[in-house]
């Protein structure tokens, strides 16, 4: 059984109780915070299959990729650990992204180290599996679609895998290669911004780049005859050869007050979705806005509308 591993930072599809919001935790040391959080997880009800919890294009792309090769799908969650999509878990709001409303990093007194958080979470979460366990119980490739921050968070676990199992990894990410651990660089498939160019059929946003690259790989290039990572990388490079890069667009910048007014004007059109508003601002209004900034502005507007 091949494995697909993805990260999901999209808005959850089930309501979240206040006790399982990272913002409700009192600031303390990383280790104590992990203990408090996992104590809450153990008591949390109701629970749902993880497949019912996540939404957004990134999760859909990873799900489609897993179905395409009959793979088992796992999610790297900053709030739960490593979970299978059939695992029953509570809805939660927790991320390692610093500028997010429910950032666990913002609740830590002192320094926040992603890999240490992951180590503590993996040890204490009542839902988390381990990479060593799930990979040792599988065969074939281990295809991991990972954002920059989440790849950094779990890299130590991937590096610790036995060499034979590590060589089954195929990593899909926008993370610059120089920021990836040397032990993992050889397993990164060389997808780049051409995935969003005019010749691609899988254009999207930066937040869903990794699972889109994974889906392209499994649908067009996935080899079942034991190719090594070097050969698979060459196949990716060959597939992208001749593809054009996207045209760079110079977008206007607006201050927060004007942005909030525009968000209000287009609220119904986008159903209050930060992702939809981001695409509308960039593609239709030609206004520049970073994803984290848009998410924060949408929260502010939502609070005034409730």
Separation of alpha carbons 72 and 85, rounded Å = 8
pLDDT at 9: 59
Model pTM score: 0.84
pLDDT for the residue 244:
96
Q: Give one word for 296, left, alpha or beta, with left for phi > 0 and alpha for psi -120 to 50.
A: alpha
Give kind and range of the element (H or E) at residue 82.
strand 81-84
Residue with tokens 């709030």: 79
Q: Let me know how long the chain is.
A: 306
Cα→Cα distances 88→101, 126, 144, 222, Å? 25, 11, 22, 30
What pLDDT score was predicted for residue 159? 97
pLDDT in tens, 207-242: 899 999 999 999 998 765 578 999 999 999 999 999
Spatial contact of 25 and 31, defined as CB atoms under 8 Å apart: no
Compute the distance between CA of residue 51 and CA of residue 55 in angstroms, rounded to an integer: 9
Q: Is 79 helix (H, G, I), strand (E, B) or coil?
A: coil
Residues 171, 82: Cα–Cα separation, whole Å: 16
Q: How far, CA to CA in Å, does 77 sit from each of 84, 115, 142?
A: 10, 13, 17
The low-confidence residues of the chain, meaning pLDDT below 70, are 1, 9-13, 99, 223-225, 271, 306
- Predicted pLDDT of residue 11: 55
Q: Please state at what angle helix 209-216 crosses helix 57-68, rounded to 10 degrees.
A: 20
Q: Can you spell out the DSSP letters for 147-211?
A: -HHHHHHHHHHHHTS-HHHHTTEEEE--S-GGGS-TTTGGGB----GGGGSTT-S----GGGHHH
Q: What is the pLDDT of residue 225?
A: 57
What is residue 55's DSSP assignment? Answer: -
CA distance 117 to 89: 19
């Amino acid at each position: 059984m091949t494995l697909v591993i993805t990260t999901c930072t999209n808005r959850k599809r089930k309501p979240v109780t206040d006790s399982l919001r990272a913002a409700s935790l009192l600031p303390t040391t990383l280790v104590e915070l992990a203990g408090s959080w996992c104590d809450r997880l153990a008591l949390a009800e109701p629970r749902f299959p993880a497949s019912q919890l996540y939404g957004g294009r990134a999760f859909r792309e990873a799900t489609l990729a897993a179905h395409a090769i009959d793979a088992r799908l796992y999610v790297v969650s900053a709030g739960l650990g490593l979970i299978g999509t059939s695992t029953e878990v509570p809805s939660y709001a927790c991320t390692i992204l610093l500028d997010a409303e429910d950032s666990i990093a913002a609740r830590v007194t002192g320094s926040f180290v992603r890999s240490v958080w992951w180590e503590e979470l993996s040890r204490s979460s009542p839902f988390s599996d381990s990479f060593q366990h799930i990979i040792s119980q599988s065969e074939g490739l281990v295809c991991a679609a990972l954002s920059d921050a989440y790849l950094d968070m779990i890299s130590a676990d991937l590096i610790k895998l036995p060499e034979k199992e590590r060589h089954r990894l195929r990593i899909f990410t926008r993370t610059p290669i120089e920021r990836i651990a040397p032990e993992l660089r050889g397993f990164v498939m060389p997808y780049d911004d051409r995935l969003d160019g005019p010749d691609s059929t899988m254009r999207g946003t930066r937040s869903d780049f990794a699972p889109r690259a994974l889906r392209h790989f499994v649908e067009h290039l996935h080899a079942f005859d034991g190719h090594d990572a070097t050969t698979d990388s060459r196949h990716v490079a060959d597939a992208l050869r001749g593809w054009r890069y996207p045209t760079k667009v110079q977008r206007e910048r607006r201050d927060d007050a004007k942005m909030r007014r525009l968000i209000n004007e287009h609220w119904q059109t986008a159903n209050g979705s930060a992702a939809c508003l981001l695409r509308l601002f960039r593609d239709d209004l030609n206004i520049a806005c970073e994803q984290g900034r848009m998410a924060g502005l949408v929260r502010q507007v939502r609070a005034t509308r409730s």
